[in-house]
Structure 1
Amino acid sequence: MRPQQVIDGDFTYWLGDMYALLGEKETALRWLRRTDEISNHNYPWFERDKNWNNLRSDSEYQRILADFQRHWERYREEFGDG
């Protein structure tokens, strides 16, 4: 299955989670990027999900998380903390 074929943001995140746990960094990051592309920006959860601990120091992972954070902060500005 290719990331471009999947349109469910939770599913793409879960797949990335699984590959991160398996130590398959590139595949995990590919799915995490896809999660960002289809607008699943649950930054508070992604930031503390322990399944990604082995990638926290990776610059690509940090870049993707920074994108999630920017989206999340924009949502909060527009809609509040709800």
Structure 2
Amino acid sequence: MPPPNRRNMSSGSGSGSSTSGRLEALAQQDPIDFEIEFYERLLKALPDFVEVLQVQSENYRIRNRQQDGLAVDLRLAELRPRDPRIHYNLACRYALLRQTEQALRTLRRALELGYRDFQYLEQDRDWDHLRRDPRFRQLIREFRSQG
């Protein structure tokens, strides 16, 4: 028996051109944009998929979609309330959004939960506009002294 005609298996009218057109468009798409679109669809079906949420958060940061990223980071903090890295990333998101009070409050929470990568924290560009804020410097001093 001959193999089925692939053209007849495509969704749509059977011409096959719409499928090949979609594939060509995907091949031309930027990888980050492709991931964002793919993960948005996946997260509709699996909204608690932590690993995908983490990648999507970073994708939104790369594309400067900070409000979308904030929604993802808040969801992650809800799913992993004791994870210091997730709270650190949420604090960074607030910093990028210029929500200073919330950024400092969330950074404190990350530090209380055990975040201790002070070398990274002091170089992280997300905090550039807050580096001179005495509250930011005080947080680092306070928790660094706790060892």
**Normalised by the size of structure 1, how large is the TM-score?**
0.76
Higher relative contact order by CA 8 Å / sep ≥ 6: 1 or 2?
1
- 2:125 and 2:143 map into 1 onto residues whose CA distance is 17
**Aligned equivalent of 2:128:** 53
Q: What is the deviation of 1:69?
A: 3.0
**Aligned equivalent of 2:119:** 44
Amino acid at match of 1:34: R
After superposition, the CA RMSD in angstroms is 1.8
Q: Residues 43 and 68 of structure 1 are in contact (CA less than 8 Å); yes or no, is this contact kept in structure 2?
A: no
Amino acid at match of 1:10: R
Aligned-residue sequence identity (percent) comes to 31
- 1:67 and 1:18 map into 2 onto residues whose CA distance is 22
Q: For the pair shown, which has the larger CA radius of gyration, 1 or 2? A: 2
- Is 1:32–2:107 an aligned residue pair? yes
Q: Deviations over 1:8-59 (max 9, x none)?
A: 0000000000000000000000110001111111111101001001111111
- 2:145 and 2:121 map into 1 onto residues whose CA distance is 13
Compare the two structures and name the one with the higher helix fraction. Answer: 1
**Aligned equivalent of 2:83:** 8
Q: How many residues align?
A: 70
- 2:102 and 2:139 map into 1 onto residues whose CA distance is 14
**Aligned equivalent of 1:78:** none
Q: Residues 12 and 31 of structure 1 are in contact (CA less than 8 Å); yes or no, is this contact kept in structure 2?
A: yes
- 1:13 and 1:56 map into 2 onto residues whose CA distance is 16
- 2:140 and 2:125 map into 1 onto residues whose CA distance is 14
- The list of structure 1 runs, each at least 4 consecutive aligned residues, that deviate by more than 2 angstroms after superposition, is 67-71
